Amino acid sequence: MKNFSFLNMIEENNKSTKIFIFVYLFLSILAAILAFSLVFFHTGNNKNAQAKQPTLIVEKEIQIGVILPMSGSLSNWGRTIKDGIDLALEKTQKPFKIHLQDSGCDPQKAKLAAKQLLEQEHVKIIIGPACVTEVAAIADIVNQQHAIMFSTGLLDNSVFGLTSNIINLSTEISTEVDFILKHLTLNEKSHIAVVSSANYFGKEYTRSIKELAPKYGIDVVLVDETPIDAIDFSSEIKDIRGKKIDALFIQQSEVGTIEFLKQLKKSPYHFDIYTSSGIENQSMLEGYQDLLEGVLFTAPYNVNEGSEEKIALEKSYNRLTDAKRVPSATTFAVYDGILLLDSALKKCSEMDVPCIKQEFVNLGKHAGMSGEMLFHPDGSNTRPFGIKQIHNGFFEWKVQDITNQNITP
């Protein structure tokens, strides 16, 4: 009996051990299956999550070449143009990278700058140059590289025959001259003398005045051309005093203008003095306010002058420059140009020059912070002009917009 019970006990223990082993194995397998399932589920979710995450696209920077007179006698003007670019870049939607070259308004330096930008750095879009001689100098390189330039200064009409790859953000000398002559006629000034520098810029003013004067019944009684670096104007002033005129147009460098007025104002005269929009430069007033008093000049008329947006932009300019510079008309022309380029590049590749140009032409009459502009198929730009006068150290409007004043030439 005892032996039987002991054997039964051993047998029961063996059964318990087997059951324990079976349960242990079962639970181990179940745990392994569960662990595998969790790993698989987690991995699958990660893959789905990764698949659902949006891909971050970094937009390629638009490469822009800039050729400006950052040194020399026109450096202040050059800096105000660069300020306009910097202000606009705060507003653009596309990312731009600027490659700046200083030309000093020298055609040869402009050529070297254009070669560097177009051939070495492979940009297709150039802002500038600022001077008409530079634009003419780099036209061939722009054509060869299938690029486009957005000129920033007054141009003569012949430039548009040198290249079709151009948009003028300013306007043409002939347009400005037309407004001067219209103003003279409206004010019954019919006899004019011209004293201009014998450079490309001065010659174009003289040519335009002589060509357009008959349209308004104006007699050009005297034309004197002087070297660009002239400081002795005694001969020209003697010629002027020997003629019966009621208006004098002078186109000289900043230094030349001051020296001419010093010598002219030594004796009384009885005619109005006119010059171009380039005189609207704060540096001209510093130290020469009395000499410049009463001088009249053409200025682009800005339909947005005094608007909240323009006032805000002027405050931004003061912030940008620490109020050390006064913006020029070109500052706002270039500001508008950059924003219009940004808009064009939403539809056009930076390499598609014809598309970019067509976007500007398609705008029709457009008003920006620089006023109204109308881009033509050849790249020229019509802007309305008014007449300003230097009075008590300020550039004051005399006639804000000559465009709609009736006249029968």
Nearest to 99 by CA among 114, 80, 84: 114
**Whole-prediction pTM value?**
0.76
Q: Which residues contact 133 (CB under 8 A, 6 or more apart)?
A: 105, 107, 199, 200, 201
Q: What percent of the chain has pLDDT over 90?
A: 66
Can you tell me the distance from the alpha carbon of 88 to that of 349, in angstroms, rounded to the nearest whole number?
Answer: 20
Look at residue 26 and tell me whether its pLDDT is greater than 90: no
- On whether both 263 and 323 belong to a single domain, the answer is no
Number of CB atoms found within 10 A of residue 263's CB: 15
Average pLDDT over residues 96-116: 97
The CATH number assigned to the domain holding 392 equals: 3.40.50.2300
- On whether both 391 and 257 belong to a single domain, the answer is yes
**What band does 254 get if pLDDT is binned at 50, 70 and 90?**
confident
How many domains does the chain divide into? 2
- On whether both 157 and 210 belong to a single domain, the answer is no
Exposed / middle / buried, residue 231 (Cβ in 10 Å: 0-12, 13-18, 19+): middle
Range of the domain at 271: 174-302+387-399
**What band does 228 get if pLDDT is binned at 50, 70 and 90?**
confident
Nearest to 256 by CA among 291, 296, 300: 291
Average pLDDT over residues 253-263: 91
Nearest to 247 by CA among 296, 301, 298: 296
Can you tell me the distance from the alpha carbon of 123 to that of 108, in angstroms, rounded to the nearest whole number?
Answer: 19
Domain membership of residue 35 (yes or no) is no
The pLDDT value recorded for residue 6 is 41
Domain membership of residue 5 (yes or no) is no
**Six token digits for residue 112:** 């070297």
- On whether both 202 and 219 belong to a single domain, the answer is yes
Can you tell me the distance from the alpha carbon of 115 to that of 255, in angstroms, rounded to the nearest whole number?
Answer: 32
- On whether both 317 and 329 belong to a single domain, the answer is yes
From first CA to last CA, the distance across the chain in angstroms is 146
- On whether both 87 and 221 belong to a single domain, the answer is no
Domain membership of residue 99 (yes or no) is yes
Domain membership of residue 150 (yes or no) is yes
- On whether both 218 and 199 belong to a single domain, the answer is yes
The pLDDT value recorded for residue 49 is 47
- On whether both 270 and 312 belong to a single domain, the answer is no
Q: What is the pLDDT of residues 350-408, one digit of tens each?
A: 999 999 999 999 999 999 999 999 999 999 999 998 899 999 989 998 888 666 555 44
Domain membership of residue 37 (yes or no) is no
- On whether both 82 and 168 belong to a single domain, the answer is yes
Can you tell me the distance from the alpha carbon of 283 to that of 296, in angstroms, rounded to the nearest whole number?
Answer: 17
Domain membership of residue 404 (yes or no) is no
Average pLDDT over residues 254-282: 90
Domain membership of residue 325 (yes or no) is yes
Average pLDDT over residues 262-284: 88
- On whether both 164 and 114 belong to a single domain, the answer is yes
Residue 227: alpha-carbon gap to chain centroid: 31
- On whether both 187 and 291 belong to a single domain, the answer is yes
- On whether both 67 and 98 belong to a single domain, the answer is yes
Domain membership of residue 44 (yes or no) is no
